[in-house]
Amino acid sequence: MAKVRISDGVLEGEILDNVIGGKYYSFKGVPYAAPPVGELRFKAPQPVKPWDGIRSATAHGPICCQRDIFFGTVETGSEDCLYLNVYTPSLEPKKPLPVMFWIHGGGFLSGSGNSHTYGPDFLVNQNVVLVTINYRVEVLGFLCLDTEDVPGNAGMKDQVAALRWVQKNIEHFGGDANNVTIFGESAGGASVAYHLVSPMTKGLFKRAIIQSGQNLSQWSRCFEPRLRAEAIARSLGEDTTDDKELYEFFKSQPIDKLVGITAPITVEEELGIRINLILCVTDEKKFGDNERYFYGDVYEKLRNGIHEGVEVMIGYTTHEGAIQFNFLKKEGIFDKYNKYLQCFVPIELLLQCSVKDQMAIGKKVKEHYFGNKKVSIETVDPFIKYITMQILQYDVLQYAKILAKTNTNRLFLYQFDIDTERNKYTDHFKARPYTKGKCVCHCDDLVYLFNDEDVPVNINADSYKMIKNVTKLWTDFAKFGNPTTDGSLGVEWPTFDLERQKFLIIGNELTVAEFPDKEELEFWEQLHQQYLPKK
């Protein structure tokens, strides 16, 4: 066992040996904020109450109440869920170690930082301290009434509280509070992008890695949060628009009623032609002296610059859109794509263009990807290419271009293209037979950074070399701000600029390329330039 004294009391963790990568110290289930229950439901996180004696830190704390968005299962959780985990190779290193702070994905609706999915072995083996966290999700974390009682973004403020905890305590685990890299995937990647412009996070980290996410996509920005809250209340039997009645209603609901809710507020959502995240980050209104996590326009914030001096890595997987394939096939959505041209309209354009323009856009997109063919099992390959650009790739590349234009922060862009037996999510969504055999789905990068208990490690397989490559890229960036600083991987990853737009293809080999998906991107850019007011 291992003991550490932090600001709130003494923790007793464990020393794990005979694990992949060798020995490390593990401290699980560490509270970083008070339980957000009772009158604290929907409120910003409050300080932990210090404890006397020794607190065991050998088991994960409860996860937030939720329904898994990938597998559809209701997970046993608790409102008392604000816990984090710390893994370190040394409690007393000769020199403080770089810290990597992981923010899980799950559409702001599900997920946790637990080691079942996010096992620390691969990263800690590269001599960094790893912190993983839980934060409030779904209604508990992202309900917004646009009122002082429920201004929104509680889940994001949880993440900020955990970052502040790191600044206060990580030295006791051998970590360097002045060298913290935040990283996350999907909604976790979007979270990282928001932290780069939030007034609450300045000075809390030095570097950032945005995996398959950003904050420009519509799915990462809450659409009409107050109307959404009223729709959720109606779905639970309360039809009111009164502020106080809504607040008291949500506060009084048993927790199981606030899990797995669907509350469409548009016909497009009702049709279900794409995955919609009903609760996420919102533009907060000002109430007294309350700290606002985020407010304003995301494009304007990015153009004005992210936090000074923070270095950034950002990227996407080759077949992000495969995440929707199995869902769409099961729901018979292909028929709707063949019937309604509006299904092909990128959601930003759908929300801002006239119906006449939507029909013209839909026709252009359909012809670009499918010619005169129908959307079907036989045309899954172009369908996944379309979905990939629609849900993520276009906005990732726009994010990179806008950030590069400011020319104030070092930026590295990548495409994740590794395909081995470890690609857990490709296998789950059953897209491989329809993508000419190769598929690198949304989330497939995770199993090369973390020891996922569902994906056994074979140290004799080529995939183990891929794990070594990816973790070295990520941890060298965390250590030095340069992911290929020593040349040991046989490639030099250049920074991204507008002139050559160089990026790294992280495949079974590492390759530098330039102008990612140039023709595809130009098609999308022309659509947006033609039909949208300038962003």
Per-10-residue mean pLDDT, the chain, length 535:
94 90 92 97 96 96 89 84 97 97 96 96 96 97 96 98 98 98 98 98 98 94 93 94 96 93 81 76 92 95 95 97 74 83 89 92 96 89 92 96 94 97 88 80 96 93 96 98 93 96 96 96 95 73
Cα atoms in the Cβ-side hemisphere of radius 13 Å centred on 521: 16
**Quick one: 353 and 407 in the same domain?**
yes
- Judge contact between 225 and 146, C-beta under 8 A: yes
Percent helix, strand and coil across the chain, each to the nearest 5: 35, 15, 45
User: What CATH number is attached to the domain comprising 382?
Assistant: 3.40.50.1820
Residue-level pLDDT at 277 = 77
**Residue from 160, 235, 171, 156 nearest 203 by CA:** 160
Residue 52 burial (10 A CB sphere; 0-12, 13-18, 19+): exposed
CA Rg value for the chain: 23
Phi and psi, residue 416, nearest 5°: -90, 120
**What's at 105, amino acid-wise?**
G
Question: What stretches of 239-345 show up as alpha helix (H) in DSSP?
Answer: 243-252, 267-271, 298-303, 325-331, 333-339
Does 439 lie in the same domain as 375? yes
Indicate whether 308 belongs to any domain: no
**Catalytic-labelled residue, pool 60, 195, 307, 442:** 442
Q: Tell me the CA end-to-end span of the chain in Å, nearest whole number.
A: 55
Contact 123, 23 (CB under 8 A): no
Q: How far is 165 from 135, CA to CA, in rounded Å?
A: 14
Would you say residue 252 lies in a domain? yes
Say if 211 falls within a structural domain: yes
Q: Which residue has the tokens 């932990």?
A: 48
Domain membership of residue 311 (yes or no) is no
Which H/E stretch holds residue 6?
A: strand 2-6
282 and 400 belong to one structural domain = no
Catalytic residue status for 172? no
DSSP letter string, 441-505 = BTTTTGGGTSB-TTS---TTSHHHHHHHHHHHHHHHHHHHS-TTSSSTTS---PPP-TTT-EEEE
| 76, two tokens | 């046993």
Element (H, E) at 26: strand 24-31
Q: Are residues 335 and 275 in the same domain?
A: no
Residue 271 lies inside a defined structural domain of this protein:
yes
Which position among 138, 230, 320, 348 bears the catalytic label? 320
Structure tokens at 383: 């369908």
Are the C-beta atoms of residues 9 and 55 closer than 8 Å to each other? yes
Is 302 a domain residue? Answer: no
442 is catalytic: yes
The helix/strand/coil state of 90 is coil
Beta partners for residue 85, in sequence order: 132
Where in the sequence is the domain holding 82, given as residue range(s)? Answer: 2-295
Distances (CA, A) of 118 to 102, 131, 144, 299: 9, 10, 29, 32
Q: At 491, which amino acid appears?
A: V
Cβ 380 vs Cβ 464: under 8 Å: no
The number of folded domains in the chain is 2
3-state secondary structure of 205: coil
Residues 199 and 333 in one domain: no
* Residue 300 annotated in active site: no
Q: What is the pTM of this model?
A: 0.96
Exposure on the CB side of residue 84, measured as CA atoms within 13 A: 27
* Of 26, 110, 186, 212, catalytic: 186
Q: Which 3 state secondary structure label does DSSP give 412?
A: strand
- Cα 463 to Cα 468: distance, rounded to the nearest angstrom: 9
**Which of 239, 262, 295 is the C-terminal boundary of a domain?**
295
Whether 357 is covered by a domain: the verdict is yes
Q: Are 217 and 392 in contact (CB under 8 A)?
A: yes
Both 204 and 75 in one domain: the answer is: yes
Whether 203 is covered by a domain: the verdict is: yes
Give the angle subtended at the CA of 439 by the CAs of 102 and 323, to the nearest 5°: 60
